[in-house]
Structure 1
Amino acid sequence: MTLGLVVITGASSGFGAACARWFAEDGHPLLLLARRTDRLESLGLPKTMSRPVDVTDRAAVVTAVREAEAEFGPADAIVNSAGVMLTGDPLEQDPVEWDRMIDVNVRGVLNGVHAVLPGMAERGRGTIINISSIAGRKTFGSNAIYCATKAAVHAASEAVREMAAPHGVRVTVIAPGYAATELSSHITDAETRAAYQAAEASLEGGLSADDVARAILYCYRQPQNVCIREIVLADTGQTI
């Protein structure tokens, strides 16, 4: 049996890198997208094409997907994992950071969807998995813009699912809580970063990247007629 191509954005670390390892272990050819290609190459995975793509560049995402499809066959799944978390007090935060979150967390996801959805719909199968956050379901003051971007991922995913479902294409949202990734290191405000990392430390980091990757693989492994629309998961000790 030939396994389909899986496209993973943000594959250089965290959830994306963990997904790459798990899908590779299953035998899938991979297209890994991230700006840090040295990290992609260091994964050392077979049947893998790595490209230095910023997900905010729609044309670059499409070009990379077409190149991988020419080598490995049509994309059967995409995991939109690229994201940034630049949390901070919205009264004081530089709006440049708002723009970056909107560009990566919203436009980046939509660019990934755009690159694969028409082909999937034409073939009558495919799986789109968008990584969001509990912050897309709950609001936190210092996370105002980040919450807004993740709520947008939930809303866009649900709307795309409604349109894609008649064509046999599944759309899933994965919304993790605190997790042991480098995401919190992106926070530029020292006080906000310290508070967030203290909460992570109280949970010994929270979820592992592998915990989230296993949930993603579980969704993908379901029969094509089964769409797990959303999974919200967190460390058992997380109370919010």
Structure 2
Amino acid sequence: MPEPSETTTTQRPLDADAFSRYAVRDPLEIARLLKALIEKRLLLTAFVDGGESFITLTLAVTDDGAVIVDACPDEMGNAKAGDAARLVCATRLDNVKLQFALETPTRINHAGKPALRAALPESIIRLQRREFYRLPTPQAEPLVCVITCASDDGRRREVEVRIVDISGGGLAVLVPPRELPFEPGTEYNQCSLRLPDGNPLPVSLKVRNLFEVVKANGVKVRRAGCEFIGLSNQATARIQRYMFKLERDQRTREDY
């Protein structure tokens, strides 16, 4: 099935089912993203039951698991929003499209002004063009993938490759000098991604490109860009969790 396209949905909410593999479901991560919207005062487009829309702001995330957004500017629109079964809110955070649904919002007063309150969303779609969303893996704790293949004599062997960056759609690895024939189009269907947060993750890879990199010491190394094949929603979610942790760790180091 073709990858869903964001370009056809710029004037209406994304189909949550079609983009479910990009959904963040960890409550702590959902709260963090919403608080980032508050901190940066980013405008949201709120769609009332998937139809009419208005511009709003995320005002607060409460300790009891609710989110508060600014009310619609006009009273008639605010009444519709308060009676809606769902508000679908969309924005961009650091060039990443975010979309989440607020179920059965309630009209309230917040800091003396009209607002809308709803339970914390169960998920947030976090969508970015995958080719631009790569995270380098830490050198201190190298991330590796073990590829199982057949040798020239027919025996099965395992080759460990170092991962240099990872995204939701694939990864780049250092090409071993002789062990594997890395060529564009080559598929490896028995791979084990060794993430630090649990058991090895079975994946299939397809080599998309090869390129040469000159390191700071002048040594030339070859890298291969590989695409995940047939990645399940569960595997995608686990890779995303790992990427979120990488981002948090990077931000923590930058703060010190």
Task: Please give the TM-score of this superposition, normalised by the length of structure 1.
Answer: 0.23
Q: Which has the higher contact order (CA 8 A, sep 6+)?
A: 1
**Higher strand proportion (structure 1 or 2):** 2
**Higher Cα Rg, which structure:** 2
**Higher helix proportion (structure 1 or 2):** 1
Task: Please give the TM-score of this superposition, normalised by the length of structure 2.
Answer: 0.22
